[in-house]
Amino acid sequence: MSDVKKIATRESYGKALAELGAEYPNLVVLDADLAGATKTGVFKKAFPDRFYDCGIAEGNMMTIAAGLSTTGLIPFASTFAMFAAGRAFEQVRNSIGYPHLNVKIGATHAGISVGEDGASHQCLEDLALMRTIPGMVVMCPADDIEARAAVKAALDYEGPVYLRFGRAAVPVINDEDYKFEIGKGKLFREGSDVTVLANGICVSAAIEAAEMLKADGIDAEVINICTIKPLDEDLILASAKKTGKVVTAEEHSIIGGLGGAVAELLSEKLPTPLCRIGVRDRFGESGPAAELIHKYELDAEGIAKQIKAFMK
């Protein structure tokens, strides 16, 4: 996919906020001294009176966002995933989740593709943490088009939403007319031998891996699961029943994220052989993003390798 246009979903986040800001005067943006990195600086430039830099005080930012939401405003609280889901978890849980307030959390720089910032900033637990908060919608878009659509869907949704964005540029794989809907997956490739459920950067890699697997006689069905809470249970179960084997692929710990959510669903409703591809109960490390993705076998080559082993 070297010839495919690539855009980081954090760029998409900033662009979407600025575009929507013109249409929604009640949209406000909060950041924690990272407007350049999270790309919320684009919104700040367009609407300086509706942008609040809360400094390096992420917990405080979440409570401010909670308060603003009670006045009819729709706040997007933005920072790195490690700080949004990790450092500010208590405030997200108690001040936003518990009263079910209309706050949107834009979490950028998730996963090992953060690269040289290292293990302390490579949040691999955020989806698991946010899934545990009752009523929290959790999304991890795959490309620029889906990311911008997810921001709009979050804006229109009444209640708390966690949006996960990446630092690294990823291929644009959706068409401009893509109709995004919270809780609905998207079938990218039909197959008969194994179902591959992916999100974030792993969607484009899974599509490429499926093409590689054809040489081994493996026909893989690839589905993008952007929303891991609520899951598209009907689509997942139908595909699992069709192929009889399921693989999940995510730039996250295999514990509690997409793999955990699918394991819970299948174990309760349709016991099916399952392989979870992701980071296996360890921290990340410092290094170039592309090299880390390859080392942790989250690129097309690594995903294809793990699927072949699973199919044996």
Residues 40 and 155 in one domain: yes
Residues 215 and 279 in one domain: yes
Residues 146 and 191 in one domain: no
Condensed to tens digits (0 to 9), the pLDDT of residues 159-179 reads 999 999 999 999 999 999 999
Q: Is residue 304 part of a domain?
A: yes
**Enclosing domain of residue 161:** 6-171
Is the sign of the CA dihedral 253, 283, 139, 57 positive or negative?
positive
Condensed to tens digits (0 to 9), the pLDDT of residues 127-148 reads 999 999 999 999 999 999 999 9
Residues 131 and 205 in one domain: no
CATH number for the domain spanning 27: value is 3.40.50.970
Number of folded domains in the chain?
2
Chosen domain end from 145, 171, 197: 171
Residues 199 and 145 in one domain: no
Please state the φ and ψ torsions of residue 19, each to the nearest 5 degrees: -65, -45
Q: In what order do the strands lie in the sheet with 51-53?
A: 51-53, 27-31, 74-80, 104-108, 161-164, 137-139, 227-229
Q: Is residue 180 part of a domain?
A: no
Q: Is 185 left (phi over 0), alpha (psi -120 to 50) or beta?
A: beta
Q: Is residue 129 part of a domain?
A: yes
Residues 110 and 244 in one domain: no
Is the sign of the CA dihedral 32, 281, 245, 170 positive or negative?
positive
Condensed to tens digits (0 to 9), the pLDDT of residues 179-204 reads 999 999 999 999 999 999 999 999 99
Please report the pLDDT score of residue 119 as a whole number: 93
Report residue 4's pLDDT band, with 50, 70 and 90 as the boundaries.
Answer: confident
Q: Is residue 176 part of a domain?
A: no
Residues 62 and 93 in one domain: yes
Which among 86, 102, 180 is positioned nearest to 135, based on CA atoms? 102
Q: Is residue 179 part of a domain?
A: no
Residues 139 and 214 in one domain: no
Residue 3, pLDDT > 70, answer: no
* Helices within 70-101 (DSSP H only): 81, 89-91
Residue 2, pLDDT > 80, answer: no
Q: Is residue 228 part of a domain?
A: yes
CA distances, 12 to each of 16, 17, 38, 73 (Å): 6, 9, 10, 22
Condensed to tens digits (0 to 9), the pLDDT of residues 63-96 reads 999 999 999 999 999 999 999 999 999 999 999 9
Residues 98 and 227 in one domain: no
Q: Is residue 1 part of a domain?
A: no
Which among 82, 49, 88, 35 is positioned nearest to 65, based on CA atoms? 88
Which among 161, 173, 220, 234 is positioned nearest to 199, based on CA atoms? 173
Q: Is 117 left (phi over 0), alpha (psi -120 to 50) or beta?
A: alpha
- Contact between 189 and 133 under an 8 Å Cβ cutoff? The reply is no
Please report the pLDDT score of residue 48 as a whole number: 97
Task: Extract the runs of DSSP E, i.e. beta strands, from 59-190.
Answer: 74-80, 104-108, 137-139, 161-164, 169-171, 186-189
Q: Is residue 108 part of a domain?
A: yes
Residues 240 and 191 in one domain: yes
Tokens of 64: 């401010």
Report residue 221's pLDDT band, with 50, 70 and 90 as the boundaries.
Answer: very high
Chosen domain end from 123, 142, 171: 171
Q: Which of 19, 23, 58, 158 is labelled catalytic?
A: 58
Name the pTM for this structure: 0.96
Condensed to tens digits (0 to 9), the pLDDT of residues 11-50 reads 999 999 999 999 999 999 999 999 999 999 999 999 999 9
Please report the pLDDT score of residue 59 as a whole number: 97
Chosen domain end from 127, 145, 171: 171
Catalytic-residue membership of 233: no
- For residues 5, 194, 263, 107, the Cα torsion angle rounded to the nearest 10 degrees is 0
Residues 24 and 113 in one domain: yes
Residue 272, pLDDT > 90, answer: yes
In sequence order, the 6+-apart residues with CB closer than 8 A to the CB of 175 are 145
CATH number for the domain spanning 238: value is 3.40.50.920
Residues 136 and 192 in one domain: no
